Structure 1
Amino acid sequence: MTDALMTEHQTRVADRVLDEEAARRHHLVVTLTGAHAYGFPSPDSDLDLKCVHITPTSQLLGLEPRLAPAERLEVLDGVEVDYSSNEIGAVLTGVLQGNGNYLERLLGAHALRHSAELESLRPRVLGVLSRRLHRHYRGFAQSQLREWEKTGFRSAKKLLYVLRTTLTGTHALLTGEVEADLTAVMDRYGFGEAGELVAWKRRGERSELSEALSERWRGQVGRAFEQLDAARERSVLPEEPGETAALEVWLLELRRAHW
């Protein structure tokens, strides 16, 4: 499924980058995110490779613990690659706080590479989901709304990011499932008309909406925030993370295995 999201050329570039980075750190998972995972890639979309890595425990206990995230942004053979990786300890702390970026890395449908430990981690991550994720998704959607405003309400990409973020959050709160693909949830939550925006965006990263389309969506976007807020009140998730002990046991076992 993930292979179909990228061209053969993009796949070769991604493999080149990941092979180089894998020589520097041990990846727990490499997830394809961004427009490719959100359901609206265009021919000029960059490759967002968001990763989680495991630092050897001995390095964590030294005088200078190696916890800084790794980042790489460059254009290779005409493909823009945005690579970043965060250490598993920091990621799991973020998961407990409701950080949707980290949740989507661990639970995302488009894992390009992963180690054996990921399968045992995923149910433990699901076990600590809570209504805390509302704050993350609402805050991120608000920031994207401001970015859309800065474009004069014309950027198809920024508007789609607002909708993608609010509906991903809504779906997670109501079902306990993390679904990053806007096209998989937009009909369910009454935004089937966003299909025209997806088609618009697929023409190119900088596709601009017509004035009429922009005006219509300015009156619609507030409904997505209303649904997200309502979902928090009706959520199947607890107020606070529940099964934290199981998650901590998993992390300690991982640290012992990766000395």
Structure 2
Amino acid sequence: MIPDPRLLRITAAQPYPLLFATISGAHLYGFPSPDSDFDLRGAHVLPLPMVLGLDARDETIEDSRIIEELEMDIVSHDVKKFFNLLLKKNGYVLEQLCSPLVVQSTPEHEELKQIARGCVTRNHAHHYFGFVETQWKLFNKESPPRVKPLLYVYRVLLTGIWMMRTGEVEANLVTLNESFRLPYVPDLIARKLAGPEQSTLDDADMSFHEHEFHRLLAELEAAQAASALREVPAESTRLALNDLLVRIRLGSGKA
């Protein structure tokens, strides 16, 4: 991705140095609308006095507003918090770290991506179970039901299944469907992009997609049961993260 120059300026204006900044959300998932906001995600490096003192602050930076005519949703975590999240069954941070839509990178970002491969576990399936349950409830709550939340349902299910089968992080629904070949996914994406007049579903659609939801949910359960992934990250992965964190902190103190 060649970033919009405005994204580069917005990233450069963040209050702390960034280890990386990527785009998440609909752009990452493969079905952004022309008016989709930009979900900027990253990890920042707090200065040494802030992490050595008694009061921890700015471990998470959040900012949602229009900047340079772009609707932005910005979230970044301090590197220690981000690394600790990687060691938990948190699919969000893995997807953000591995997003190919890179606005800013560093050598440490590339190193972190390699280490994070060891953070992928069978227990990440629980993240996707919880995530898709929430998305399915949101989808069913609307009347008439809309295509957009349904696409999120399929994106979450296929990402989880793919991770359990391969150990790889892939959040783009279009890319995932090159392997899953669900014939209705391209049509749903086209309907979402066509605008509100084609973005709702009728009762026949609902019946079909409810069946597909339960079928793919069962596939995710089966993929987790059959997965060769570890239950938790290896100690060597934790030590590698710790070593990288120490080097980043020491480097931040040289300025």
1:55 equivalent in alignment to 2:49: no
Is the contact made by 1:41 and 1:202 (CA closer than 8 Å) also made in structure 2? yes
> What is the total number of aligned residue pairs between the two structures?
250
Change (3 A) 1:68 1:252: closer
Return the TM-score normalized by structure 1.
0.89
The percentage of counterpart residues that share the same residue type is 31
Equivalent-residue separation in structure 1 for 2:247 and 2:72 (angstroms): 33
Gaps of 5+ in 2: none
Equivalent-residue separation in structure 2 for 1:65 and 1:107 (angstroms): 27
Which residue of structure 1 aligns with residue 210 of structure 2?
A: 218
Which residue of structure 2 aligns with residue 240 of structure 1?
A: 232
Equivalent-residue separation in structure 2 for 1:121 and 1:143 (angstroms): 30
Deviation per CA, 1:202-239: give whole Å up to 9, x if none: 22479632314333212211122111111111113111
Equivalent-residue separation in structure 2 for 1:236 and 1:192 (angstroms): 29
In structure 1, give the amino acid aligned to 2:83.
Answer: L
User: What SS does the aligned partner of 1:236 have?
Assistant: coil
Two-structure CA RMSD over aligned residues (Å): 1.9
Mapping for residues 111-126 of structure 1, pairs under 5 Å: 111-126=102-117
Is the contact made by 2:16 and 2:44 (CA closer than 8 Å) also made in structure 1? yes
Q: CA deviation at 1:249?
A: 1.7
Pick one of 56, 63, 80 that aligns with 1:65. Answer: 56
Pick one of 168, 173, 194 that aligns with 1:182. Answer: 173
Deviation per CA, 1:84-129: give whole Å up to 9, x if none: 1111111111111121111112122111111221111111111222
User: What SS does the aligned partner of 1:127 have?
Assistant: helix
Gaps of 5+ in 1: none
Equivalent-residue separation in structure 1 for 2:167 and 2:38 (angstroms): 27
Q: CA deviation at 1:17?
A: 2.0
In structure 1, give the amino acid aligned to 2:251.
Answer: A
Change (3 A) 1:179 1:206: farther
Which residue of structure 2 aligns with residue 258 of structure 1?
A: 252
Is the contact made by 2:63 and 2:75 (CA closer than 8 Å) also made in structure 1? yes
Which residue of structure 2 aligns with residue 208 of structure 1?
A: 199
Which residue of structure 2 aligns with residue 20 of structure 1?
A: 13
Q: CA deviation at 1:177?
A: 0.8
Equivalent-residue separation in structure 2 for 1:107 and 1:217 (angstroms): 29
Return the TM-score normalized by structure 2.
0.90
1:169 equivalent in alignment to 2:160: yes
Is the contact made by 2:165 and 2:227 (CA closer than 8 Å) also made in structure 1? yes
Equivalent-residue separation in structure 2 for 1:193 and 1:111 (angstroms): 29
Change (3 A) 1:152 1:227: farther
Q: CA deviation at 1:193?
A: 2.1
In structure 2, give the amino acid aligned to 1:247.
Answer: L
Pick one of 81, 93, 100 that aligns with 2:91. Answer: 100
